[in-house]
């Protein structure tokens, strides 16, 4: 008999956890590097950028608060993107 008091799995759990989010962002940024519109924006990207984005996505989807603890959370992420002259086409492509 199952106990109904256990919390339901998070989207983070359903997606496969940290490793799945890291694979997702690695694959995504490999494609970004080959994209004519986005590549210039990410040309100087820190090699750890995909892992940082994976930590942020994982947290958003109910995973551990690593991004907030290690990088300052949503305010930090927003500050990193301010003043980047991103166009609507870039946002849509991303």
Confidence class of residue 5 from pLDDT cuts 50, 70 and 90?
confident
The domains of the chain, with CATH numbers, are: 11-93 (1.10.490.10)
Give residue-wise pLDDT tens across range 60-71: 999 999 999 999
CA nearest to 22, candidates 74, 67, 71 = 67
pLDDT at 38 > cutoff 90: yes
Report how far apart, in Å, the C-alpha atoms of 68 and of each of 1, 2, 25, 58, 87 are: 38, 34, 18, 11, 27
Q: Read off the pTM.
A: 0.85
Give residue-wise pLDDT tens across range 39-90: 999 999 999 999 999 999 999 999 999 999 999 999 998 998 888 889 999 9
- DSSP per residue over 42-83, as a string? HTT--TTHHHHHHHHHHHHTT---HHHHHH-HHHHHHHHHTT
Confidence class of residue 3 from pLDDT cuts 50, 70 and 90?
low
Q: Under the phi-then-psi rule, with left for phi > 0, alpha for psi from -120 to 50, and beta for the rest, what region is 77?
A: alpha
């Amino acid at each position: 008999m199952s106990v109904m008091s256990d919390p339901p799995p998070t989207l983070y759990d359903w997606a496969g956890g940290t490793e799945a989010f890291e694979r997702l962002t690695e694959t995504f940024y490999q494609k970004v590097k080959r994209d004519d519109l986005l590549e210039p924006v990410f040309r100087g990207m820190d090699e750890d950028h995909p892992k940082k984005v994976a930590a942020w996505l994982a947290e958003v989807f109910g995973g551990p608060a690593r991004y907030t603890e290690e990088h300052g959370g949503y305010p930090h992420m927003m500050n990193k993107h301010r003043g980047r002259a991103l166009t609507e086409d870039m946002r849509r492509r991303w």
